């Protein structure tokens, strides 16, 4: 009887080991878990682009919905924060685009009750201080430290405008706010 019992327990142990191995093989590995865009990275890009952190005036209303499963962008996603009420984060090479609502900020334009088309009201022209192709000094830092690097402007920009700059033609662009002629700063830092 003991031979039969030990044989049965060995069979049960083998069946259990087979099921356990199959279950463990079905679990995602850390490499497989990285199949989606890092949403914390996108939150940081939006905060840097608008110059305000989460739930601050002018900043994002809430973090990006963690249920989103975006394909990872092969380059740095582009943040377009030209609208006062939302920012658009996009990856042009893959084709996804999301809108991130922003809190009204102190610098946000006041909404009017006038229903005239927006084209009828001309905005004051801002003087371009950085032109596409100009060398610019990119500054990052705070009161305790500052670092800088020479970059090339990818687009024209007036003082206060957010533009793309890069180290060379093959480098990934970085968003920076124009301060003065030839000087840009990474917002939020």
DSSP of 56-77:
STTSBSSPPPTT--PPPPSSPP
Is 108 part of a structural domain of the chain? no
Spell out the per-residue pLDDT of the chain, length 189, in tens.
555 556 656 766 665 556 555 555 555 555 444 588 888 888 888 888 888 888 888 889 889 888 888 888 888 888 888 888 888 898 888 888 898 988 887 544 333 333 333 444 444 557 888 898 888 888 887 777 778 888 999 999 888 889 999 988 888 899 999 988 888 998 776
CA-to-CA dists, residue 142 to 16, 167, 187, angstroms: 59, 22, 11
Question: Is 83 domain-assigned?
Answer: yes
> Is the domain of 145 the same as that of 91?
no
Give the structural domain span for 79.
Answer: 39-101
Judgement on whether residues 86 and 138 belong to the same structural domain of the protein: no
Is the pTM value of this prediction over 0.75? no
Domain membership of residue 86 (yes or no) is: yes
Q: Are 90 and 82 in contact (CB under 8 A)?
A: no
Determine, yes or no, domain membership for 24. no
Q: Is 87 helix (H, G, I), strand (E, B) or coil?
A: strand
CATH of the domain at 164: 2.30.30.760
For residue 159, which of 142, 136, 140 has the smallest C-alpha distance?
136
């Amino acid at each position: 009887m003991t031979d039969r019992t030990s044989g049965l327990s060995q069979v049960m142990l083998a069946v259990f080991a087979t099921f356990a191995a199959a279950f463990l093989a079905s679990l995602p590995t850390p490499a497989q878990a990285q199949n989606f865009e890092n949403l914390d990275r996108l939150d940081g890009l939006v905060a840097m682009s608008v110059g305000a952190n989460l739930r601050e005036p002018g900043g994002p209303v809430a973090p990006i919905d963690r249920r989103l499963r975006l394909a990872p962008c092969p380059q740095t996603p582009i943040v377009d924060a030209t609208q006062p009420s939302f920012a658009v984060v996009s990856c042009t090479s893959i084709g996804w685009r999301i809108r991130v609502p922003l809190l009204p900020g102190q610098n946000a334009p006041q909404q009017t009750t006038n229903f005239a088309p927006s084209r009828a009201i001309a905005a004051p022209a801002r003087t371009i201080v950085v032109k596409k192709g100009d060398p610019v000094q990119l500054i990052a830092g705070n009161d305790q430290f500052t670092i800088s690097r020479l970059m090339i402007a990818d687009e024209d920009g007036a003082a206060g405008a957010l533009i793309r700059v890069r180290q060379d033609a093959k480098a990934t662009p970085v968003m920076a706010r124009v301060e003065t002629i030839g000087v840009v700063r990474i917002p939020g830092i």
